[in-house]
Amino acid sequence: MKIFSLIPNWQVRYRHERKPKSSSARRVVTRALFALSGSVVFLFPALRAQQNDPSKPVVVQPGAPGAPSKTLPSSTRASLPPRSPADVEFMQGMILHHAQAVEMTAMIPSHTQNKNLRSLGARISSSQADEIKFMKRWLAARGESVSKAMPNMPGMDMPHDAAHDSSHETSHDTSHDSMARMPGMLTPQQMEALEKAKGSEFDHLFLVGMIQHHNGALTMVKDLFDTAGAGQDAELFNFATDADNSQRAEIGIMETMLKKEIPEEKR
């Protein structure tokens, strides 16, 4: 009889103990909702203020790790990153380097009927001519002159679109030593032999010469990135990296073409 009388009392106490816990949980949820609503209330006025006055853009300069960001005046203008002298020399030298490759490809239509070589030559000519234009723009934007021309030297004449008005931009005091410092560039003797060759002989000399030429460009890119403080400019970095990748791929294509027997072309 006493045992049964205890059960209702236990149930009552259990119910009373659960209510505070449920009430406490509701209070926690309610506080969280109020905190969230408060954040939203403070956030939207800032967003509305920016939307209502689009003429005043917000310029934010990210801080260093652990440091807060800075809000700069709306009149702040971007500036080009500092450049290394090696960056300028690389671009100037690569313009001259590319120009010789474009001149080599210009011989193809009149020297061979090899369709594969013609297709490869068109690809090299187009890509390197476009890159010459990019490098000239990069230098001009930084107040630098384009690469110096090599007058009266076979294989060193820049194409018209790459060297237009270059006499007004640079002096023509470059010596033979300048060419010797350009990795992979064909010598005047190699260019003369290529000019005289026809058919399969031209195909062979062209492939060997262009592989040499491309390997020289890879060396120039490596030297740039090995130079302390050089290659940090984003545009230059992307250009040099893309040039390295594309020329490695073209070297692979040319090496495969060399391994195949090139039939004697009809003249």
Note whether 110 and 177 are same-domain residues.
yes
Note whether 159 and 234 are same-domain residues.
yes
Note whether 30 and 139 are same-domain residues.
no
The CA distance from 99 to 215, in Å, is: 15
Residue 214 lies in a domain: yes
Residue 190 lies in a domain: yes
Note whether 157 and 236 are same-domain residues.
yes
Report the CATH number that the domain containing residue 207 is assigned in CATH: 1.20.1260.10
The CA distance from 123 to 249, in Å, is: 12
Q: What mean pLDDT value characterizes the chain?
A: 75
The reported pLDDT for the residue numbered 71 is 77
Residue 68 lies in a domain: no
Which positions ≥6 away from 123 have C-beta within 8 Å? 250
- The neighbouring-strand residues paired with 104 are none
The reported pLDDT for the residue numbered 266 is 44
The reported pLDDT for the residue numbered 66 is 73
Residue 73 lies in a domain: no
DSSP 267: -
User: What SS3 class is residue 72?
Assistant: strand
The reported pLDDT for the residue numbered 131 is 97
The CA distance from 89 to 93, in Å, is: 6
Query: Which DSSP helix (H) or strand (E) runs through 12?
Result: helix 2-52
Note whether 119 and 181 are same-domain residues.
yes
Note whether 133 and 235 are same-domain residues.
yes
Count up the domains in the chain and report the number. 2
The reported pLDDT for the residue numbered 260 is 85
Note whether 177 and 231 are same-domain residues.
yes
Note whether 38 and 94 are same-domain residues.
no
Note whether 166 and 234 are same-domain residues.
yes
Domain of 124 in residue numbering reads as 85-259
Note whether 100 and 10 are same-domain residues.
no
Note whether 154 and 221 are same-domain residues.
yes
Residue 160 lies in a domain: yes
Residue 178 lies in a domain: yes
- pTM exceeds 0.75: no
Note whether 141 and 194 are same-domain residues.
yes
The CA distance from 267 to 264, in Å, is: 9
Residue 251 lies in a domain: yes
Q: Residue ranges of the chain with pLDDT lower than 70?
A: 1-61, 63-64, 72, 74-82, 147-181, 261-267
Residue 107 lies in a domain: yes
DSSP 53: -
